[in-house]
Structure 1
Amino acid sequence: MGTRDTGTRGRTHGLPAERTSFVGRRREIAQIRRMLSAAPVVTLTGPGGVGKTRLASRAAASLEGAFPDGVWMVDLAALRSRELLAPAIVEALGIRDQTARPPLEVLTGHLKDRRLLMILDNCEHLVGECAVVARAVLRSAPDLRIIATSRQSLRVPGERLLEVPPLGLPGDARPSAARLARADAPRLFAERAAAAAPGFAVTEANGDAVVEICRRLDGIPLAIELAAAQLRTLSIERLLAQLEDRFGLLPAPGARPAHHRTLRALIDWSHGLCTEEERLLWSRVSVFAGNLDLEAAEAVCGGDGLAAHDVVDLLSSLVDKSILISRHDGEGVRYRLLETIRDYGLERLEESGQAAALRRRHRDHYRRLASQSRARMTSPEQMSWLARLGADHANLRLALEHCYTEPGQTRTGLAMAADLMYHWVNGVYLGEGRAWLRRGLAVETEPSDVRVRALWTDGVLAIIQADLPSAEADLRECRALADGPGDLMALAYVALGEGLLALGREDAVSAIPLLEEAVRLFRAADDPIGVVEALIRLCVAHRSTGEHALAVSIGEQSLAVCDRHGLGWHKAYTLAVLGVAVCEQGDARHAAALVSEAVRFNRSLRDQRGVGLDLEILAWIATTQGRLRRAARLYGILGTLWARIGDPPPSGYLHSAAHGEQSRSRARHDLGEPAFEAEYARGAELDYEEALAYALDEEEPADPGSADGDDRLPPLTARETQIARLIAQGLSNKEIGRSLMIAQRTAEGHVEHILDKLGLDSRTQVAVWVSKHDPARS
């Protein structure tokens, strides 16, 4: 059967969006391509700021067609703990493993026999660990290739090194404007200068100054970009004069290589051109890992000489000076520092004597964020909070590490890990979450409310991982410690956990009273998420005992709680469970509609694990309806989906394993082996969006008489083509939903997927794209 990844064929994952143009490097890209054809690992070396990451990304993107299992970027810059290297790679590859296996074993098992390209970016602080991982995955997947960026070699068998050179300069003493336009360093300066000072262009008059600036900066891309940004306030002549003054004081070659000294001098100069407040913010922002939002910047960096209300303007100033990079992520603006700039800021922070205080403020902010998220999970803001925690994962990880390494702060870290329960469950961080919890529980052994919360949290995560002995031990101790009326939540989670354990043993009769007790306790504790979690499993349990009408009633109760409290994520799982119960009552058509709505929810939430569970149920329903070819194709989609994101959850989560096995066997038998295999292969070859369009019957347009479905605009599906055309007509998401008779949220999800698929940032760009590619509009 097919083994190609659903959604990975010809795709790149995690490569940084190119917000600015890429200049030059044709020779180096060709070298990397040649090296990878003969070597398993190519390591790009060179000083900070020389452009290793951009070059690796551009070379990898040019190779995507050669790697059917995708091109994947793993940014290690924000990683501080050596133990988290393998989990970080698992996370970056989107593997949603639900087992308690060691992360390196999960990684090597997932990559076995795959042909993909992986970029390990910023390896220098984890060189030894990266080498261990590289050796392990290459043994498992001999067709895998790795591009590493590092200031030193990984020293793994077969590694080839490419020292990334500075950008080229013209060889002529007085080059013409045309020759300047072909030299990489002046081209980069010209493009960044035009962005900083609209209207700027390299001419015969200023060409010599541009070349001299690039020579002074040794052709280092980061240095050129920092210098060009100063043209917002300086003339080209003044910029050159200041660089000559600054670089005339450079120390003679010695401990630092020339390129290191040049970049350091340039960053020193850029630092000196900042105001005192900008310099203060630069150093304080360096305590963050990955990226940050405005709220975090104000909370952590404000005060002590920096008014919180001034932070937003100072962030904008640092963006203008190319010190910070900003991007919109759908929830707002986020900021990050390049690692070379961050390292400089950290040096300044250490020199100021404020580093320890800033790290504590950073820890305290993310501790508060975790606590707030726990409270907001039961509100209509549930999904935005989950998205926010995902965006802040690197900083949450850094705050936890700080808690566990600073004396007296372990209990704080354990409380934070427990507060993040749904972050661990929702993302690809399940194993990491358990590691933080187990680390804290091993130290914080005295009875306390924090230990009780951590025990039930770890117990629930252990059940999801099918680590039943650990779950039983956690729940047993939790029950012993939480025996008073003030411990309703603990007792509720113990009852839920014990009910889940009984379901896992396929003992629905024993599970029912435990889950009923959990519902009662969660209601008494006023915890709607807990109520829904218990009702979902209670629906499964009553279905298993043949009480289909009762199961449907309980599923509808859960749906009502979700709607009342705005619990979108839990609603998707409720719809899936309810769909199974409704189908068993004999209404397969209604069941398919319910589960299809769950698919749309989970697609919009980017929950591929949830989508996989939903598709499994749709395949079972299709078999029940006698739609055997559809069932076989859905099983093909599922095979490659689970292969990409990890094994499916333990049986009994939404419906019993027997349902799936019986359904698959019946489809294969009744359809016949050749026809089943053919349909399975067709499903396996669909990419992720095509697969979901098929599962949701979206390959046909809403209006059968419309021509839109017959002339779709690749790479869009028929439904996405319809929506893109409506965007081009100026319709809002609400108007699109009304026009196509779909929910506004569904329309929003389609718009997001169109933007992702086309690599665009706005609806206006979609309209322009349609005007260029739609024959009906030409």
Structure 2
Amino acid sequence: MNALNSDRVGSRPHRPRLPAELTSFVGRRHEVAEVKRLLSVSRLVTLIGVGGVGKTRLALRVGMLIHRSFPDGVWLVELAELNNRNLLLPAVCDALRIDDVSTRPALEVLIDHIRDAHGLLILDNCEHLLPESASLAETLLHECPRLRILATSRQALGIVSEQTLSVPSLPVTGRALTSPDTGVVAGDAVRLFAERAEAVVPGFIVTEDNRETVERICRRLDALPLAIELAAVRLRALSVTQLLARLDDRFRLLTCGSRTVLPRHQTLRALIDWSYGLCTEPERLLWERVSVFSGGLDLEAAESVCAGDGIARQDVLDLVIGLVDKSVLLREEHAETVRYRLLETIRQYGHERLIASDGEAHVQRRHRDHYRDLVARADREWFGPDQVAWLTRLRTEHPNLRAALEYSFATPGQSAVGLEMSARLRHHWIVNYYLTEGRDWLDRGLAAAREPTAERAGALWADAWMAVMQGQSGQAMSMLHEARTIADRLGCRSVNAYVALCCGMIAMYAGDADSAIRYYEDGVAAHRATGDREGLALGLIWLSLACSFRGDSKSAMAYGEEGLAVCEASGERWHRAYVTMALGVESRRQGDLRRAAELERRSLRFHRELDDPLGMGVDFEVLAWIAAAEEDHERAARLLGILRTTWRLIGAPPSGYGHLAGCHDECVSCVRTALGDRAFAAACEEGAVMPLGTALTYALGERLATAAGSDGSLLTRREEEIAHLVSEGMSNRDIAAKLVIAQRTAEGHVEHILNKLGFNSRAQIAAWMGQRKTSD
């Protein structure tokens, strides 16, 4: 089995490996062929060129075209939004969906996961992290013999055996057909201009009458794709003749009347200068201020951070629309919300303007304060019906959370705020599996903000909780001791309650159920007194498991049922999933296998909705025990295989459930004996290589797909329809025509289907549909 596969259990289908193309890809036929050739003879290829020339788009296009040659995956690592070299490795691990809870060095973890992987790693925008990117690439190529790397940068990485390709501007003249109606032929630059112009001026075509003008525009823009796209938008208000005249005037001004060929970067900057000049003063201010965001923003963030000092809050929406119309901000659909982002070149330009106006510090502070408030709201509302929405939102805002924390710890006098934010983000770190990164932020804050405050005590127990999950009980006890000392001095009963629960976790991990139960009972009593429903639910979960481990069935069921009632009363999902799991463990111990399986499947559905790999792993574990007890040994072996891959991809079996290891070993021994070594290994392998969607469906005992509904099925009715058309061999264009939808919409549906099912090709969708028809 290869080390890593994009189809495997543990990959996260809600985030695709490569982003879908939102606009048509024009030209670059020679460059695409050359990159493919270079990758066939070299393990490192770097695309070099100026900003705006299209390096990223070319790399993504190649990645999409050759992904079948890399069975373990093609992964994109976007470096542009990283402003700290220490985040390079976490960004790579995140792109590869490596959820590791161990304390090993991140580079060691990364190498271990992809050592034998046959994959392609795309490192995009390396220029501002050039030494670190070069070092990482060299190490990975040395340690991972089947890995290839495609990098984009404004300069070569400088590694031995590196092959580079200078990405040129698009050709202005040539034989590319731009309009079948007129028969006009021209180069890719003109074709790109025509396609983007037609998007803003329906019916626009290049004719013999306007071709020369369009070609002159493209030459004035040095045929840079980004510059062409920005210029084409201006046709909303100008003719091509007016556009050319204004470009000529603007460039002549910038170059003191020189008519010589302009350097590409100067040309692009001139165009962006011109775009900036066409904005109203409030639009310019907004452009500058949104440059502090990392990874995009929503309207709420724009209103919170950018309003004031020249921008009225009620005007922000209209200004955002204005910048979207001018192609400064890009609009992106995210579930039920809309987000906006700046191309990196545009963002850097705005940031330079912001610095020049001496406004950077003020806007960065507002940015940090906005995300401080957002984190506080998420923490307050976590134990409630909006939990899934908050998890999704925090995942989306992860780059901005990083930027806010970095500002806090890099700015004198703000470390306490960073520490408070880090502690409030504990659920984000744990459920979204940023454990190591979360502990790094907490450790940084604890080292910088040493005052014995309630916030420090809260950060200490949060850090300790994650340390226990990573098997570092000694470190955890030291932090818990300090937290208890501070809490006793300040009278923080809530902190002491969480300290007690963490101490119980440590005792339970050591197999001392009696001590664990005493700690848990103390914590539960304190949480009852303070009215902390989250702490109460957590304590009841651990009490139920500990009593079950000790053989006290009555208490185990009573604590579990109470915990379930607490969660249901608040509409809470995460703790509810774990308390349901705990009740399943006890039901299985009592021999009520039917109820145990029902409870574990219910828990697994919750964890699937939350995208919690740890929770899924525990459910896979208990379902395997149940299958073994029912003497369905092949199913048990497949579930153990699914579990093996799950644990590997998140680092190791979670330490907090170490007391269940005896049941695991007993299950493995029983199933191996029943099947024999060869059949056991084969069945385990079948489970280990299942795509995540298939593994979940198998574990739940569901059919592979029906219409979407509350039963946790995979595809919506529309996706079912499109999957059927894909299986008939229809292209996205054919599907769009048949269903009377936009081709982009069809492409998005196909991407969602691939992600939900854990597939990476249309052929897999077709095969899967064929299997369903046979089964039906």
Q: Larger deviation: 277-286 or 209-218?
A: 209-218
Q: 2:168 aligns with which of 162, 165, 168?
A: 165
Residue 562 of structure 2 corresponds to residue 557 of structure 1: yes
Give the AA of the match of 2:597. A
2:382 aligned with 1:382, yes or no? no
The answer to whether the 8 A contact 2:174-2:185 is kept is no
Residue type of the partner of 1:109?
D
Q: How far apart, CA to CA, are the structure 2 residues paired with 1:257 and 1:77?
A: 26
1-side partners of 2:604 and 2:160: how far apart? 44
Instruction: Return the offset for 1:701.
Output: 7.5
Distance 1:361 1:168 in 2: 45
Tell me if structure 2 keeps the 8 A contact 1:724–1:754: no
1:81 aligns with 2:84: yes
TM-superposed deviation, 1:101: 1.7
8 Å contact kept, 2:329–2:340: yes
CA distance in 2, matches of 1:175, 1:408: 59
Greater shift in the superposed pair: 61-70 or 337-346: 61-70
CA distance in 2, matches of 1:255, 1:239: 20
Give the aligned CA root-mean-square deviation in angstroms. Answer: 3.0
The whole-number CA distance in structure 2 between the counterparts of 1:588 and 1:363 is 51
User: CA offset at residue 176 of structure 1?
Assistant: 9.0
How far does residue 693 in structure 1 lie from its aligned partner after superposition? Answer: 1.6
Whole-angstrom CA distance in 1 between matches of 2:673 and 2:720: 44
Give distance in 2, aligned partners of 1:685 and 1:578: 29
Q: Aligned pair 1:58/2:54, yes or no?
A: no
1:251 CA drift (Å): 2.4
Q: 4+ runs of 1 displaced by more than 4 Å?
A: 1-4, 8-12, 171-182, 252-257, 717-728, 752-755, 773-776
The reply to whether residue 137 of structure 1 matches residue 140 of structure 2 is yes
Taking the aligned partners of 1:175 and 1:445, their CA distance within structure 2 comes to 66
Within the candidate set 25, 39, 43, 2:42 is matched to: 39
Correspondence for 1:580 among 571, 579, 585: 585
Per-residue deviation at 1:485?
A: 7.7
Are 1:448 and 2:453 counterparts?
yes
Give the structure 2 partner of residue 149 of structure 1. Answer: 152
Q: List per-residue Cα deviations over 1:592-634 (Å, max 9, x = no partner).
A: 1111122222222222232222112211111111110111112
Q: Which residue of 2 aligns with 1:5?
A: 5
Q: 1:483 and 1:156 mapped to 2: Cα distance?
A: 57
What pairs up with 1:599-618 in 2 under 5 angstroms? Answer: 599-618=604-623
- Show the 5 A alignment for 1:667-746: 667-699=671-703, 720=714, 723-724=717-718
Deviations 1:453-503 (A, max 9, x none): 111111111111111121010001111111158311110111011000001
- In 2, Cα distance between equivalents of 1:250 and 1:722: 54
SS in 1 for 2:655: coil
Q: Which amino acid aligns with 1:146?
A: I
Q: Does 1:96 pair with 2:99?
A: yes
**What CA deviation, in whole Å up to 9, does each residue of 1:102-127 have, x standing for no partner?**
22222122222112211111111111
Post-superposition CA distance 1:681-724 (Å, at most 9, x none): 3223321112222111223788xxxxx9xxxxxxxx99657845
C-alpha distance in structure 1 between counterparts of 2:517 and 2:179, whole Å: 83
> Which residue number corresponds to residue 326 of structure 2?
321
Contact conserved, 1:111 with 1:140, CA < 8 A, in 2?
A: no
8 Å CA contact retained: 1:414, 1:441: yes
Number of residues paired by the alignment?
731
Matching of residue 409 in structure 1 with residue 433 in structure 2: no
Deviates more, 1:717-726 or 1:639-648: 717-726
Shift in Å, 1:14: 3.6
Percent of matched pairs sharing the same residue? 48
Matches of 1:145 and 1:492 in 2, distance apart? 50
Shift of 1:179: 7.0
The equivalent residue for 1:290 is 295
Which residue in 1 is equivalent to 2:109? 106
Letter in structure 1 aligned against 2:521: E
Q: Deviations over 1:357-393 (max 9, x none)?
A: 1111111111121222211112222221222111111
Do 1:3 and 1:684's aligned partners in 2 also have CA atoms closer than 8 Å? Answer: no
2:16 pairs with 1:20: no
- Three-state SS of the structure 1 residue aligned to 2:265 is helix
The answer on 1:267 being equivalent to 2:263 is: no
Alignment of 1:106-255 (within 5 A): 106-171=109-174, 183-251=187-255
Amino acid at match of 2:299: L
Q: Deviations over 1:105-150 (max 9, x none)?
A: 2212222211221111111111111122222322331111111111
Indicate if the aligned counterparts of 1:555 and 1:574 stay in contact, CA closer than 8 A.
yes
Superimposed CA distance per residue, residues 176-231 of structure 1 (whole angstroms, 9 cap, x where no aligned partner): 97775563211211111111112212222222222221111111110011001111
Distance 2:97 2:504 in 1: 30
Question: SS of the counterpart of 2:331?
Answer: strand
- Per the alignment, do residues 556 and 309 of structure 1 end up closer, same or farther by CA in structure 2, a change over 3 Å counting? same
AA aligned opposite 2:657: G
Residue 69 of structure 1 pairs with residue 72 of structure 2: yes
Matched residue of 2:679: which SS? helix
Larger mean Cα displacement after TM superposition, 350-359 or 508-517: 350-359
CA distance in 2, matches of 1:612, 1:217: 54
Secondary structure class of the residue paired with 1:322: coil
Kindly provide the CA deviation profile for residues 740-761 of structure 1, in whole angstroms up to 9, marking residues without a partner as x. xxxxxxxxxxxx998612579x
CA distance in structure 2 between the partners assigned to 1:130 and 1:542 by the alignment: 51
Residue in structure 2 matched with residue 756 of structure 1 by the alignment: 752
Give the Cα separation in 1 of the matches to 2:248 and 2:627.
74
Distance 2:719 2:174 in 1: 51
Contact 2:3–2:113 (CA<8 Å) still a contact in 1? no
Who is 1:659 aligned against? 663
Q: Which amino acid aligns with 2:243?
A: L
Call closer, same or farther: CA 1:257–1:639 in 2, change over 3 Å.
farther
Q: Judge conservation of contact 1:13–1:73 (CA < 8 Å) in 2.
A: no
In structure 2, the CA distance between the partners of 1:696 and 1:256, relative to structure 1 (3 Å rule), is farther
Q: 1:758/1:67 Cα in 2 relative to 1: closer, same or farther (>3 Å)?
A: closer
Q: For 2:165, what is the secondary structure of its paired residue?
A: strand
The 3-state SS of whatever aligns with 1:192 is helix
Q: What TM-score results when the alignment is normalised by the length of structure 1?
A: 0.88
Deviation track 1:628-651 (CA, whole Å, cap 9, x = no partner) reads 011111222223333334323126
Q: Structure 1 residue aligned with 2:377, among 368, 372, 375?
A: 372
Alpha carbons of 1:44 and 1:2: their partners in 2 closer, same or farther (altered >3 Å)? Answer: closer
State yes or no: 1:461 paired with 2:461: no
Structure 1 position 13, deviation (Å): 3.7
Look up the equivalent residue of 2:209 and give its one-letter code: A
1:4 is displaced (CA, Å) by 5.8
With over 3 angstroms needed to count, the CA separation of the structure-2 counterparts of 1:172 and 1:446, relative to structure 1, is closer
Residues 47 and 8 of structure 1: CA distance in aligned 2, closer, same or farther (over 3 Å): farther
CA distance in 1, matches of 2:64, 2:543: 48
The answer on whether the counterparts of 1:13 and 1:71 sit within 8 Å (CA) in structure 2 is no
Q: Is contact 1:562-1:571 (8 Å) kept?
A: yes
Which residue type is aligned with residue 66 of structure 2? L
Unaligned runs of 5+ in 2: 723-747, 757-764
Provide the residue aligned with 2:501 in structure 1.
Answer: 496
Question: 1: distance between equivalents of 2:704 and 2:269?
Answer: 59
Native 8 Å contact 1:378 1:565 kept in 2:
yes
Aligned to 1:276: 281
